[in-house]
A and B are shown apart, each in its own frame.
Chain A
Amino acid sequence: MKYKGYMGKILTVDLSSGRIGHMSLDDETVELYIGGRGLATRILYDAIEPGIAPLSVQNKVLFITGPAAGTLVPTASRFGVGTKSPLNNTLSVSYAGGYFAPELKFAGYDGILISGASDRPVYLYIHDDQVEIRDASHLWGKDAIVTQEILKEELGAEFQIAAIGPAGENLSPLAATVHEQHVCGRGGDGAVLGSKKLKAIAVHGTGGVEVALPVQEFIKEARSLHETILSNPVRDAFRQYGTTGMLGAVNEIKAVPTRNFQETYFEGADKLLGEVLARYVIRSEACSDCPVVCCSVVQLDVDGETYRKRFVTERLEHQPICALGTYCGIDDLEALIVANDVCDRMGLDGISTGATIAFAMELYQRGILTREQCDGLELTWGNAEVLVPLIKKMAMREPGIGALLSQGSRRAAEELGGEAPKYAMHVKGLEISAYDPRGFTGMALNLATAARGADHNKAFTIAAEFLGVLGDYDRFDMAPKPMLVKTMQDSTAVIDSIIMCMFTVDLGISVELYGKAISIVTGMDVSADQVYVIGERINNLERMWNVREGMDGSYDTLPERMATDPDSTGHTVDVKEMLPEYYRLRGWDERGIPTAEKLAELQIKV
């Protein structure tokens, strides 16, 4: 390859035959799709047959890095896990930081494409070019954190590990892949790995990553990206509170989903604020190559059934605090710290897990679910004691309430029938994250149109609609939102392809600078305009995946409640009012399908 930053090859592992090989990257593909999310979308669109069942042997999983992983470009040491989602059939790529991505690059690979399925539990061992499919019977059934601890003990602390927990083994479509305590959260990739009986991947590399610019020049340019972040006042807020600083502010304007989106102000939020959580923090941690340092280690003393001793875990973030907390009317912070840790260990998406429990609580409130149907648990609002038992039942898919909820809110609602689907708060089957759409019309449009469903990180419009770090938009004014959402979805697709951390949007890294990050590493010349074109290409290809799977614009909806039930400030939102303009700006027809001209313009082969 003429471009630097890449290792130039994807490791290929077929678990059915045991065959191990590699596929080469080519210059044209990375020019069009960069890496990370873009490259994963291109590779998986071509590699996965349309219409296959996500948990069948035909599905594939791609672990992917970006060209800037293992370089000095700040926050770029993230990896993605892409697959056909067992939750909703979309092409889902989920990301996590930590140390896995650079280690994979140092071992000589940009990614790992996993096909087939093993008939017994295995893990993948990678030490540079020594790659083996190894027995994992001793790991099966272990939680995702313990699995990593055992493998590090066996192989050495220099190995970086991504693993699934019991939820993935038991094929819950809410299951995630976990590295350290960083979770590739959404879309159910953990279940696909579970269906392949692949418990973990352990990697250690001794090589290096080359970049395009000469040494001194590269150090200078990368340093200036770091300085941009370090000198931004928001950096200290992230360092001190992670994302937990958001709750107080969003609750104050009454836009925090509460009791399954029946309300948007949580009276108990004061007990869950970042400042309160900060009391438990014992020290800070960073992902590789990150000057933001947003991770924190928290410690609490618990004397309960699950944890009888002093227990140390990672600080939970805004999303799980809300999903497990405000969505369920729970204001017991220590219970949330424990529940979040259990989600991570079980290998569950904390957002979808919390949102699905909140859904069950509303059904309980309305008498649709009875105590008997809930295995004797009282699913009343605010009852923190049900969290851990429910999460474990979901991860184990225990017959009864566990198996019902382990499917996510949409399928659980379909199984129950009757009125139940009205109370499932999802888009395209993916549960809604913690910014109420009625309070932010841009976020509403993003959640409705994002290809894989209600994912706030496909365009974090809160930065523009509320935080004021990307312009100053009225939260409720719909008129400018189609353009805002389109441009942010497009730039975000490139951030996910480098792969840089979404926090950098709030930390002074402009679209020009994302282009520059790619340029200094790869040697491609990527301007801000080109960032938007590349991002548009990725969003269109993701859209074409949905079209191929039979999902057109009729899936671009929010739950009915958003348009009919006012939030705690009296607002509703009907995304249908924004869709025609959004489709027009996108060059999509009235059914939300990209036109042939648009695909040709973007050089997309489908």
Chain B
Amino acid sequence: MIEHDSRKCVFCHLCEWVCSMRAVGQIKPTASAIRVTRSVRFGPIGFRVCDLCDGREVQACIEACPTEALTLDGGVVKYVQEECTACLACVEACPIGAVAWDAASEKVVICDLCGGKPLCIEWCPEDVLSLGAA
């Protein structure tokens, strides 16, 4: 999973933007599997990205999914759009808000580590992000 040292983050949003580009073919932060947030100017920065429910055996999104659209596969949550009924139970179930729903493409967006070489890590100009143990 993606680990982050939020104290080093400079709030450039590149991770969000490149993630959404790959996920839905547009630059669209609401359709990104990683979100960077800050509530006050110069305040602490937070990340929302799948942490596999803090490493627990059962992931909330997978548990909530009424079909086989979400499964744990090789250390990431795998999404199969064909199985998805767009019920959004996964979005609601995620305790940290790391599952996005893109209405335009009717897709759930959740971090799959880009198949092993995450774009967000490559694009971060400040080495905030790294690949942690699954």
Contacts and interface: CB of A to CB of B under 8 A. Distances in A.
B125 interface: yes
Interface stretch (B24-32, B60-68, B76-84, B89-97): B24-32
B122 to A, nearest CB: 8
Interface stretch (A47-55, A144-152, A387-395, A569-577): A144-152
B40 A219 contact: no
Interface string A55-88: 0000000000000001110000000000000000
A374 interface: no
Nearest to A206: B30
A559 interface: no
B14 A289 contact: yes
Contacts of B25: 210, 215
A226 B37 CA distance: 23
B127 to A, nearest CB: 12
Contacts of A230: 125
A157 interface: yes
B41 A145 contact: yes
A207 B105 CA distance: 12
B5 to A, nearest CB: 12
A223 to B, nearest CB: 7
A335 to B, nearest CB: 21
A71 B10 CA distance: 18
Interface string A279-307: 00001111111110101010000000000
Given A71-B27, A72-B27, A106-B28, A293 B10 contact: yes
B4 to A, nearest CB: 15
B117 to A, nearest CB: 12
Contacts of A467: none
B41 A207 contact: no
B123 A284 contact: no
Interface string A291-334: 10101010000000000000010000000000000000000000
Q: How large is the interface on B (under 10, 10 to 19, 20 to 34, 35 or more residues)?
A: 20 to 34
A72 B14 contact: yes
Given A72-B14, A72-B17, A209-B26, A312 B31 contact: no
B123 to A, nearest CB: 7
Given A226-B123, A285-B11, A291-B14, A148 B41 contact: yes
B134 interface: no
A263 interface: no
Contacts of A70: 17, 27
B13 A288 contact: yes
A71 B29 CA distance: 11
B20 interface: yes
Interface residues of A, number: 38
Interface string B7-26: 10011111001101110111
A208 interface: yes
B20 A208 contact: yes
Nearest to B37: A157
A295 B37 CA distance: 18
A106 B119 CA distance: 21
A576 B56 CA distance: 76
A219 B41 contact: no
B10 A208 contact: no
Given A208-B27, A293-B12, A293-B125, A157 B21 contact: no
Interface string B43-73: 0000000000000000000000000000000
A320 B119 CA distance: 38
A208 B123 contact: no
A106 B40 CA distance: 21
A309 to B, nearest CB: 14
B10 A285 contact: yes
Contacts of B14: 72, 289, 291
B111 to A, nearest CB: 17
Contacts of B20: 208
A207 B28 contact: yes
Contact of B26 (A208, A286, A295): A208
Nearest to B30: A206
B11 A286 contact: yes
Nearest to A216: B22
A290 B11 CA distance: 9
B125 A208 contact: no
A219 B26 contact: no
Contacts of A291: 12, 14, 125
B41 A286 contact: no
Contacts of A226: 123, 125
Contact of B29 (A106, A157, A181, A210): A106
A208 B31 contact: yes
Nearest to B23: A215
Contacts of A297: 42
B126 interface: yes
Contacts of B28: 106, 207-209
B18 A72 contact: yes
A152 B22 CA distance: 30
Contacts of A71: 17, 27
A226 B39 CA distance: 28
Contacts of A145: 41
B18 A219 contact: yes
Contacts of A218: 21
B125 A286 contact: yes
Contacts of A284: 10, 126
A219 B14 CA distance: 12
B24 to A, nearest CB: 7
A544 interface: no
A300 to B, nearest CB: 14
A297 B39 CA distance: 17
A207 B7 CA distance: 29
Interface of B: 7, 10-14, 17-18, 20-22, 24-31, 37-42, 104, 119, 122-123, 125-126
Given A181-B41, A208-B31, A211-B26, 15 more contacts: A71-B17, A72-B14, A99-B13, A106-B28, A157-B37, A157-B40, A207-B28, A209-B28, A219-B119, A223-B123, A285-B10, A286-B10, A286-B11, A291-B125, A293-B126
Question: Which 3 A-B residue pairings sit nearest by Cβ, starting from the closest?
Answer: A208-B28, A208-B26, A286-B12
24 contacts: A72-B14, A72-B18, A72-B21, A99-B13, A102-B27, A149-B40, A152-B40, A157-B40, A208-B24, A208-B26, A210-B26, A211-B26, A215-B21, A215-B25, A219-B21, A219-B22, A219-B119, A226-B125, A286-B10, A288-B12, A288-B13, A289-B12, A291-B12, A295-B10
